[in-house]
């Protein structure tokens, strides 16, 4: 029907849908009220050099659906380890200056989505909905969409390294 969201199995491979469902996700999940509180907290946090996170629609929509979820996983994936990750952009954890520097590299604004256990690292989304991992070992492109990024993370597929010229 028009206006209905696709089901988990229409959006994701069965194993990915199972992992997300076990973490508390459902295709009709909407935690927008919590997201508004997070965004207010982030907007109130300014770095010592005057940087702050500014949300945009792709970030708000991603957090409205996945905010507050923590995916626990371990072991070897397709190409790399399968590490836990979560969706909650906590103030003070995701340094606005780091995100601004990465935004300059890729030529698009980015916003924190949450974190990644290995590293640790930060999950980020840009204005067009592309998802990245900002990690001590390098910055990585996870997918053109959040759904694609979730498949990459849950399968333990090797993400592409973002080069200094903003390509991957």
pLDDT tens sequence for the chain (168 residues):
456 777 777 899 999 999 999 999 999 999 998 888 888 888 777 778 888 888 999 999 999 999 999 999 989 999 999 999 999 876 556 788 888 999 999 999 999 999 999 988 999 999 999 999 999 999 999 999 999 999 999 999 999 999 999 999
DSSP one-letter string for 115-155: EETTTTEEEEEETTS-EEEEETTEEEEEESSHHHHHHHHHH
Tokens of 3: 């206006």
**Domain assignment of residue 142, given as a range:** 31-161
Q: Considering the domain boundaries, does residue 25 fall inside one? A: no
Q: Considering the domain boundaries, does residue 16 fall inside one? A: no
Q: Considering the domain boundaries, does residue 135 fall inside one? A: yes
Total number of domains constituting the chain: 1
Please state the pTM of the whole predicted model.
Answer: 0.92
Q: Residue with structure tokens 């629609």? A: 57
Q: Considering the domain boundaries, does residue 91 fall inside one? A: yes
pLDDT of residue 87: 95
- Using left for φ > 0, alpha for ψ between -120 and 50, and beta otherwise, residue 28 falls in alpha
Q: Considering the domain boundaries, does residue 100 fall inside one? A: yes
Q: What is the dihedral sign for C-alpha 50, 130, 25, 135?
A: negative
Q: Considering the domain boundaries, does residue 107 fall inside one? A: yes
Residue 49 CA to residue 44 CA, distance in Å, equals: 14
């Amino acid at each position: 029907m028009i206006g209905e969201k696709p089901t988990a199995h229409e959006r994701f491979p069965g194993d990915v849908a199972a992992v997300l469902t076990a973490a508390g996700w459902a295709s009709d999940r909407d935690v927008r009220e919590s997201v508004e509180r997070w965004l207010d907290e982030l907007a109130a946090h300014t770095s010592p050099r005057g940087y702050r996170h500014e949300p945009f629609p792709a970030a708000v929509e991603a957090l409205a659906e996945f905010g507050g979820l923590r995916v626990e996983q371990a072991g070897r994936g397709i190409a790399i380890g399968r590490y836990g990750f979560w969706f909650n952009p906590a103030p003070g954890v995701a340094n606005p200056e780091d995100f601004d520097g990465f935004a300059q590299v890729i030529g698009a604004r980015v916003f924190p989505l949450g974190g990644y256990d290995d590293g640790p690292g930060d999950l980020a989304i840009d204005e067009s909905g592309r998802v990245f991992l900002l990690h001590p070992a390098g910055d990585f492109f996870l997918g053109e969409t959040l759904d694609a990024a979730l498949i990459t993370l849950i399968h333990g597929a090797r993400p592409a390294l973002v080069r200094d010229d903003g390509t991957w």
